[in-house]
Amino acid sequence: MRTAVVSAMLEELHAVLALMPDEHKQVAAGREFFLGQLHGQEVVAVLSRIGKVAAATTAAVLIERFEVDRIVFTGVAGGLAPGVEVGHAVVAQCFLQHDMDASPIFPKYEVPLYGASRFDADATLSEELARAVRRALPGTTVHCGLVISGDRFVSTAAENLALREALPDALAVEMEGAAIAQVCRDYGVPFAAVRTISDRADYEAHGDFLSFVRDVASRHSAAIVEALLAGPS
């Protein structure tokens, strides 16, 4: 079983690599893929970079070139739904691209020719991931549900409100998950993602985000990955 561990930010990747002392690097598609072992399991760790296209390229290369059996994403997101606060964790059950709009030809949010706007995470892997979060970060509030993705850092009250009104069940917003979910559906590869909430996707988001990723999220990501690969206990 070869697991891909994908991070959007360099700080998070570094924290995961610190758990993989024997890793070696391979370059593909201008990206550095780190192959090694963690708790005796084969791991390919990589930076997705930011945004849907970068994430989709990364996922396709992981599957085609590195033949991973499953993809796990750890990162940060802006909290949207009431009660999804900074420091909480969100495990995605499904994803939607909030900036997909081919209307009036297709319904808003529907990905053309897929007949769907929502792409599910793998239920079994997501449950394992949620258990790993609870083990790694005891006391942390864990939410499970819809995560929305788009090529925009949401940091205005107007966009925040528009998203919450249009998609009231969206727990959190980020910039990669739905793209990876679509690629994984194309290939039939299980995908799960956990996001630590770094900000509330409002006018304070920028400042909160940078300090949070540096100080908290990278530690969370590494602890969650370690718990996941250690297996049930």
Positions annotated as catalytic residues are 12, 199
Using the rule CB under 6 A, is 146 a contact of ligand ADE?
Answer: no
Tokens of 66: 């590195």
Mark the segment that binds ligand ADE (CB under 6 A) among 58-66, 97-105, 131-139, 148-156: 148-156
Q: Which amino acid is at 84?
A: V
For ligand ADE, the closer of residues 189 and 213 by Cβ is: 213
From the list 60, 67, 61, the residue with the least C-alpha distance to 42 is 67
Using CB under 6 A, which of 12, 110, 122, 199 touches ligand ADE? 199
How many other C-beta atoms lie within 10 A of the C-beta of residue 49?
18
Task: Please state the closest distance from residue 215 (CB atom) to ligand ADE, in A.
Answer: 14
Residues 161 and 79: beta-carbon distance below 8 Å:
no
As a residue count, the chain comes to 233
Q: What is the dihedral of CA 135, 137, 143, 147, to 10 degrees?
A: -110
Tokens of 73: 């994403």
Using the rule CB under 6 A, is 76 a contact of ligand ADE?
Answer: yes
Using CB under 6 A, which of 153, 192, 194, 224 touches ligand ADE? 153
SS3 label, residue 184 = helix
Residues 203 and 156: beta-carbon distance below 8 Å:
yes
Q: What are phi and psi of 70, to 5 degrees?
A: -160, 155
Using the rule CB under 6 A, is 12 a contact of ligand ADE?
Answer: no
CA distance 43 to 196: 21
Using the rule CB under 6 A, is 148 a contact of ligand ADE?
Answer: no
For ligand ADE, the closer of residues 154 and 179 by Cβ is: 154
Using the rule CB under 6 A, is 109 a contact of ligand ADE?
Answer: no
Using the rule CB under 6 A, is 57 a contact of ligand ADE?
Answer: no
Residues 171 and 88: beta-carbon distance below 8 Å:
no
Using the rule CB under 6 A, is 177 a contact of ligand ADE?
Answer: no
Task: Please state the closest distance from residue 66 (CB atom) to ligand ADE, in A.
Answer: 26
Using the rule CB under 6 A, is 221 a contact of ligand ADE?
Answer: no
Using CB under 6 A, which of 175, 180, 194, 225 touches ligand ADE? 175
Binding region for ligand ADE (CB under 6 A): 76-78, 153-155, 173-175, 198-199, 201, 205, 209
